[in-house]
Amino acid sequence: MIALINWLETRTGFKALIHEAFNERVPGGARWRYVWGSTLVFTFTLQVITGFMLWAAYSPSTRTAWESVYYIQHEMFLGNIIRGLHHYAAQGMVVLMAIHLIQVIIDGAYKAPREMNFWLGIVLMMIVLGLSLTGYLLPWDQKGYYATQVTTNIMSATPGVGREVQILAQGGSDYGHLTLTRFFAMHAGILPTLLVGFLALHIYVFRRHGLTVHDPNRAPETTFWPDQVLKDSVACLAVLAVVLLLAIFRGAEMSAPADPSVKFDAARPEWYFLFLFRFLKFHAVDALGVTFGAIIVPGIIMGIIAMMPITAKVFGGFGHQLNRAFIWALSLGVVVLTVMAFYEDANNKDHQAALTEAHRDGQRAIELASGPDKIPVEGAVSLLRKDPFTQGPRLFEQNCSGCHRYNGHDGRGSLVTEAGKTELDPPVTGSPTAADLGSFGSREWMTAIVMDYSNHFAWMKNSKWFLDAQAKSAAGETVDYINPDSSEMADWTSGNLESLKSAENADNVKALVEFLAAEAGHVGTTYDSALVEKGRELAIKGEWAGALNGTSCASCHDTIGQDFPSNPDDSTAGSYPTLAKYGSAAWLKDFIRHPDAARHYGAKNQMVSYSPEKLSEENLDLLVRWLTHDYTTSTVPDYADQMDVLKSALTQGTSAAPEPAPEK
């Protein structure tokens, strides 16, 4: 062993190197305030190690980036820990860098003859920020995709070269495959190489001038080994512990695969850039433009920091005090702006809703990717694009929430609001003007039709067309319109209510409801076939007990119990709404396309007809599959029921007056 060491020593002189490294003088004794530089070298080393591990599984292309990160996160052995470490250590580096900078300025370590090293440090800081910026995009998820776009757009605001730099960085005028390969080349190649180079210089120059000691007479001089090494090691271990705990207990989130066609309202930069983001939102700053807020002001601030050694030289002690005051003020400003940004986001309902949805999409994408179908060859974007559970709510919100609601909300969990009466009034909760489709086709829905028809469809009475029709009919005109309070259907249910509620018909009602729900046949519900058969008999033959006996649904709805015809236009349905497989996917598709057909509401219809130009075949299918629960079940919770919130908003008079008649 000794022979080997000697052999090495004579050929490399490594002992001297080590000796020199460990015997660095530490005047005034080892101190905790000197540990920041070491922790930075340590976290960077951690980034290199975990970075290589991630690289071994990562594949930079628009069709494989998310997919490979999914693999790392959910299938690779310890992959989630490695990714978590890389994720949090990156943030740790930014924090440690800020502390290191503040400490250097406060201790005056930037002053002559250490200017050069101070500037090297600033270059290192830029490189680290560049690393975290480029890294954010690599998972190619919605969060990184949209947040990075904000940044590259800001970049393009640089006077003169901005647009060219942007095009160069993103590999074209838009985001695409080349954006990813270029960002990856920067993240894993160019920037780390630069970092290593500048770090070597930084450490070399640092060694030349040694530590800047605050007060050398505080304690007797020691050497780097062992006192300072111990403190440095403890600090590094503490950093590792924090990062590891975060990686294990919080993990790095992954949002849904990047999809340029899906707006992402929850986009925010990484939290340590939030202060800048908030700064740009000030009216005054906003009015002066992005170039001012995001390029000129930060440029001036960086300029002032870079000038600090010169300021201190020119103005002496006063200059140093000035620099200290500046860095304190800047830190305070950053903290205040960051807190403001967090606070405002937490109290912004729209942002919170967007966050919830982003989280939901992310979870769902991961759920589908790990499901039996895995990730399709077209890539993970299509997972959500083809998923009724994800697309249904969106299509509903876009197309249907103007009149209908879904458990009180717009399909995506928010109440529908409308502008107040005057421009100055705050927005108010809008009244639905058609049935709430949250329970459509379920037993609950069918029970309400049979036992509570008027109430069930009462939302329609909020509409302008209803009020108009009622006024006309009061004036003696004959108008064909749907009246939940008085129609053959309403009369049938209210006229028979007592008998329907009687004990002797309890089982019959149950059977009828079972039959109706089974006709809708929504996925995931099982029906009692004996009850269904009994209900079918009742619906068609009307063999009820007591006063109800002889009244069948089929006496008006003559198609009840039949299959939904493949060509509905040829059907022999009479003038009553067809109940052939009422509530099923086939019925729904036909209804949404032609609510005004004679087999549905005919002349009474008030709903929009959704032609294929309005709602493509594909989207109709997604919407209907969502309404009939025809999708892989999810552990992602559904949007919370908002019916009570809606009702209380409406009764408190914060609701809107009936809206004008919708265009057909």
Which amino acid is located at 554 in the chain?
A
Site map 416..455 versus ligand HEC, x via CB under 6 A = ------------------xx-x--x--------xx-----
Please list, residue by residue across 558-573, b when 16 or more beta carbons sit within 10 angstroms of its beta carbon and e when fewer do.
bbbbbebbeebeebeb
* Residue (213 or 516) nearer to ligand HEC, CB: 516
Task: Note whether 469 binds ligand HEC by CB under 6 A.
Answer: no
Shortest Cβ 368–ligand HEC spacing (Å): 24
> What's the CA gap between 505 and 508, in Å, rounded?
5
Task: Note whether 460 binds ligand HEC by CB under 6 A.
Answer: yes
Shortest Cβ 384–ligand HEC spacing (Å): 20
Task: Note whether 626 binds ligand HEC by CB under 6 A.
Answer: no
| Contact residue for ligand HEC among 48, 467, 556, 598 (CB under 6 A) | 556
Total residues at the site for ligand HEC (CB under 6 A)? 41
Task: Note whether 573 binds ligand HEC by CB under 6 A.
Answer: no
| Contact residue for ligand HEC among 482, 518, 585, 650 (CB under 6 A) | 482
| Contact residue for ligand HEC among 595, 619, 622, 631 (CB under 6 A) | 595
Task: Note whether 555 binds ligand HEC by CB under 6 A.
Answer: yes
Shortest Cβ 394–ligand HEC spacing (Å): 12
| Contact residue for ligand HEC among 606, 619, 628, 655 (CB under 6 A) | 606
| Contact residue for ligand HEC among 43, 103, 399, 414 (CB under 6 A) | 399
> What's the CA gap between 21 and 43, in Å, rounded?
20
Kindly list the distances between the CA atom of residue 166 and the CA atoms of 148, 177, 193, 282, 295, in Å, as whole numbers in the listed order.
12, 15, 22, 25, 14
| Contact residue for ligand HEC among 291, 417, 487, 609 (CB under 6 A) | 487
* Backbone dihedral angles phi then psi of residue 466, each to the nearest 5 degrees: -70, -50
Task: Note whether 576 binds ligand HEC by CB under 6 A.
Answer: yes
Record the tokens describing residue 367, joined without a space.
């759920």
Among 244, 242, 221, 240, CA closest to 232: 240
Which amino acid is located at 583 in the chain?
G
- Binding span for ligand HEC by CB under 6 A among 37-45, 247-255, 283-291, 574-582: 574-582
Count of residues making up the chain? 664
> What's the CA gap between 653 and 277, in Å, rounded?
38
Among 313, 299, 305, 90, CA closest to 192: 90
* Residue (219 or 547) nearer to ligand HEC, CB: 547
> What's the CA gap between 96 and 315, in Å, rounded?
29
| Contact residue for ligand HEC among 104, 213, 415, 553 (CB under 6 A) | 553
Shortest Cβ 551–ligand HEC spacing (Å): 6
> What's the CA gap between 16 and 6, in Å, rounded?
12
| Contact residue for ligand HEC among 83, 86, 394, 404 (CB under 6 A) | 404
| CB 270 within 8 Å of CB 132 | yes
> What's the CA gap between 206 and 212, in Å, rounded?
9
- Cβ neighbour number for residue 132 with a 10 Å cutoff: 19
- Binding span for ligand HEC by CB under 6 A among 11-19, 114-122, 336-344, 555-563: 555-563
* Residue (579 or 585) nearer to ligand HEC, CB: 579
Q: What is the dihedral of CA 373, 379, 380, 384, to 10 degrees?
A: -80
Among 334, 335, 339, 305, CA closest to 322: 305
Record the tokens describing residue 468, joined without a space.
């108009």
Task: Note whether 379 binds ligand HEC by CB under 6 A.
Answer: no
Footprint of ligand HEC on residues 490-529 (CB under 6 A)?
492, 516
- Binding span for ligand HEC by CB under 6 A among 138-146, 360-368, 375-383, 554-562: 554-562
Q: Do you find a cis peptide bond into 113, omega within 30 degrees of 0?
A: yes
- Binding span for ligand HEC by CB under 6 A among 13-21, 235-243, 571-579, 633-641: 571-579
> What's the CA gap between 415 and 155, in Å, rounded?
37
Shortest Cβ 463–ligand HEC spacing (Å): 7
| CB 175 within 8 Å of CB 182 | no
Shortest Cβ 568–ligand HEC spacing (Å): 13
> What's the CA gap between 655 and 536, in Å, rounded?
42
| Contact residue for ligand HEC among 186, 235, 489, 649 (CB under 6 A) | 489
State the residues that interact with ligand HEC by CB under 6 A: 399-400, 402-404, 434-435, 437, 440, 449-450, 460, 482, 487-489, 492, 516, 539, 553, 555-557, 576-577, 579, 582, 588, 591-592, 595, 600-601, 604-608, 610, 623, 662
